[in-house]
A = this chain, B = another copy of it.
Amino acid sequence: MIPRNLTESTWREVRAAGERGIALLPIGSQEQHAAHLPMGTDTLLVEAVVDRATALLADGSGPELVRLPALPFGHSPHHLFAAAVSLGAATLGAVLDDVLDSLADSGHRRVLVVNGHGGNDEIMRLAVKRFALRREVTAAACSYWTVTGGEDDGGRPEVTPGHAGWFETSLMLAAHPDLVRTPVPARAPVEPPPLFDRPPHPGLTVERHGEWARVGGSTDDASAADPARGRRLLEARAAGLAGAIRAFDAATR
C-alpha cells in the first residue's frame, strides 16, 4: 500500500484509510543549529526518516498509512536567544490535542507521532497519554533517533543525537548536503560541558539559566561529520521506524 499524503487526498479517501490504517504525524522545529546547519534541520531530518521508512513499507508489507503534513514549528524556548521560531509548551500541547482529536473525530483509531526535536519530547508524550485517556484510540510516539534496526550502524552513541553536532551534521550531509555550510569549523570542547547535556549525576536532570548561550548553541564538535556514516545512520533509523510501525500494527490490529 502506497503511503497516502493527507494533504493530497480527498476527505473520503482519508476517512476510509484512517479507519483501517495508521496516521503518521511528523513534528519538527525551527531553531538555531550553529553556523553550518539550517533552522529547519529537525523538521528536515524527521521528514527524511519518515520518507525512507514509508518507502520501505510501500511494498505492502506494512499497514495502510496516512501521512499528515509535518508540523514545522516546535517548542524551542531555549533557542530564542538565537532566532528560533518557538511554540510555547501549552501551545504545542494544544496543537497536538486538536490534531489528534480531529483524527479521532474522522475515524482514525491508531496514530503515531514521530518527533524530530528533543524539546518536543515530553510534550508529545503527555499529548499521546491524554489522547489515549479521553478517546478510544491507541496512540504511539517516538523521537526518530531512538528507533533503530538494532544493528551496529557505526554511530557515536555518546554524541547521539546532540544538537548541531556530529550526529545531526552527518545526517544532514546525507539527506540535504546542499544545505550544510562547509567546511564545518571545528569547535573546542566547552568547559564545563553544559549541565543539560552532561548532568553531574546519573538519573538527575539539571537545567541552568542561560546555559545554551554560554556553550554557544551546540553540544559537540561537528567538523568530523561524514556523509557516508550519515547515510548509514539515516538508513538505520528508517529501518527502525519501519520496524516500529510494523510492530505497532501487529500489536494493535
Contacts and interface: CB of A to CB of B under 8 A. Distances in A.
Contacts of A202: 146-148, 150
A148 B204 CA distance: 10
A contact face: mostly helix, strand, loop, or mixed: mixed
Interface stretch (A49-57, A88-96, A224-232): A88-96
A37 interface: yes
B37 A10 contact: yes
A214 interface: no
A166 interface: no
Nearest to A178: B8
A99 B141 CA distance: 25
Nearest to A133: B77
Interface in A70-125: 70-73, 77-78, 80, 82-91, 94-95, 97-99, 102-103, 105-107, 122-123, 125
B6 A133 contact: no
B129 A207 contact: yes
A248 B200 contact: yes
Nearest to A131: B207
Contact of A201 (B105, B106, B247): B247
B207 A83 contact: no
A128 B209 CA distance: 10
Interface residues of A, number: 101
B88 A206 contact: no
A14 interface: yes
A204 B36 contact: no
A214 B29 CA distance: 37
Nearest to A14: B83
A68 interface: yes
Given A105-B80, A129-B207, A195-B251, A35 B12 contact: yes
7 shortest interchain CB distances as A-B pairs: A7-B40, A146-B203, A132-B207, A11-B32, A122-B122, A69-B72, A200-B247
